[in-house]
Homo-oligomer: A and B are copies of this chain.
Amino acid sequence: MTNQGSATAEHRLTLQAKLGESMVLTESADMLRYCRDWHGDVTSGAVAVIRPRSTQEVADAVNLCRTLGLSIVPQGGNTGLVLGGIPDKPDGQVILSLERMNQIRRIDAEDFSAVVEAGCILSEIKDAIMDKGMFFPLALGAQGSCRIGGNVSTNAGGINVLRYGMTRELVLGLEVVLPDGTIYDGLTTLRKDNRGIDLKQLFIGAEGTLGIITAVSLKLTPYPDHVTTALLGLASLEDAIALYRRARRDCCDLMSAFEFMPPLAFTLAKEAMPDLPIPISADYPAYVLMEISGSGLVDIDDLMQRFLEGVMTDELVLDGTIAASQAQARNLWLIREGMNEGQAKRGSHMRSDVSVPLSSLAEFVAEAEMAIAAALPECISISYGHVGDGNVHLNVLPPNDITGQARLDAIYTAKTVLNEVVDRFLGSISAEHGIGRLKRSDFESRLPETHRNLLVAIKRAIDPDLLLNPGCQLSFPPIS
């Protein structure tokens, strides 16, 4: 299917001739930012980067690449964490960037819906929707750079999942260019439409392996203009989980975030942002950053106040601070973000994104951290994340003086040890980040035969020539 390097120059000329020079980048310097992943861990190459401006141009590019025997790696904002948008190798593959399909086609506040093109940046969509008094709940660290097509293709998660669900639950319809170059127009904004098999579900989470998402209908809610945010100190992760269960009941469907952090989070945040105020003692074994929000007549502040009174009386929460202003709330969230930046500043490390049933989460984290400490006594584990979803990011930081191959070896060992514990707890090795290329072998080696057979059957039914995103999610031919 793919071509060898010597054919690349000819392919570049053909792509530019047929699609127009302005649509096709071929210089290494121009292509670099599309070929390097978000963390900068991997740099690949491509025959070209194709940047269509319309759905028809995407279809034209697909048809041309099929004719030329070039496979296509679709790419949004290139903020993915699992190498789903980076080619395996520089030959035989093009990157198709959706970044120039960035029109908000419409926002219908009266219908609680919007239609946006795949290349729209998430935060820009959210802002435009907010201007109409509405809210699109998807919220994640990369929202200033990620693009909605990528969010949908990867079924992105983030901090508001416990209330609003993954991206899948926020999508009403899709427009997709299929591997045969036809356009699937499923851009409905109907809230309820139950005409049989829901085709859009196939493309959500497929990471561009079954089609190229070009536009999305979004489900909106009223803008939650009342928000209250608290940072709480607790005795343990067990208590944090107990607090989540109680908050889920006491605050009903109005809790919008519940993030767990260990005290190390403050150290790391300070390393990234030395001036960041930490408005709570760093002496507690566990912290929760909790948000309640809503629109209209519900008194959110009173709800938070009464909730905290109850849980502090019961000594489930030992200390806490409620943000008195938006600026204070922003600072609390900066601790969460700074913790991530602080980890990055300590150099490359093992990042994970795992989930287990809520009832075994505390035990899982204890066992995993113990197993990693036994295997890598010089490394530090940090576990934090969206505890209410059973989702924890358990990362492992090697010390500064472990460098080069020794560092890579430590990261590999940490991942192997962690995944073994995840398997024992019947957990997921990817709670929200997807599979891409980074987790493919870990995914495939755990894939039951029945699941694999279904995935292969679907891929072959929709993309029989394996045109789209080769090497992402599944390897062909089968690894076994």
Taking beta carbons and an 8 Å cutoff, which residues of A are in contact with B?
108, 110-113, 154-155, 157, 161, 163, 165-166, 168-169, 178, 182-186, 188-199, 201-202, 204-207, 209-210, 221-222, 224, 245, 248-254, 294-298, 303, 306-307, 310, 355-359, 386, 388-391, 426-435, 443, 448, 450-451, 453-455, 457-458, 460-462, 473-474
Contacts and interface: CB of A to CB of B under 8 A. Distances in A.
16 contacts: A161-B192, A188-B426, A190-B357, A191-B389, A193-B355, A194-B205, A195-B429, A197-B209, A198-B201, A198-B204, A199-B454, A201-B201, A202-B454, A249-B295, A254-B298, A297-B310
A392 to B, nearest CB: 10
Contacts of A186: 451
Nearest to A455: B197
Nearest to A457: B461
Contacts of A202: 197, 201-202, 454, 458
Contacts of A428: 188, 190, 192-195
A461 B428 CA distance: 27
A69 B417 CA distance: 49
A310 B296 CA distance: 11
Nearest to A219: B165
Given A205-B196, A248-B222, A185 B450 contact: yes
Given A184-B450, A254-B253, A298-B251, A197 B206 contact: yes
Which of A165, A210, A454 has the most B CB atoms < 10 Å from its CB? A454
A190 B252 contact: no
Given A111-B358, A198-B201, A297 B192 contact: no
Contacts of A166: 192, 194
A240 to B, nearest CB: 14
A298 B307 CA distance: 10
Contact of A194 (B110, B157, B195, B356): B157
Contacts of A454: 178, 184, 199, 202, 462
A359 B388 CA distance: 36
B195 A157 contact: no
A247 to B, nearest CB: 9
Contact of A307 (B163, B297, B462): B297
A190 B191 CA distance: 26
A389 B192 contact: yes
B298 A430 contact: no
Contact of A197 (B189, B224, B251, B458): B458
A182 B450 contact: yes
Contacts of A154: 194
A462 B298 CA distance: 48
B192 A434 contact: no
A207 B195 CA distance: 10
A251 B296 contact: yes
A307 B355 CA distance: 40
A311 to B, nearest CB: 11
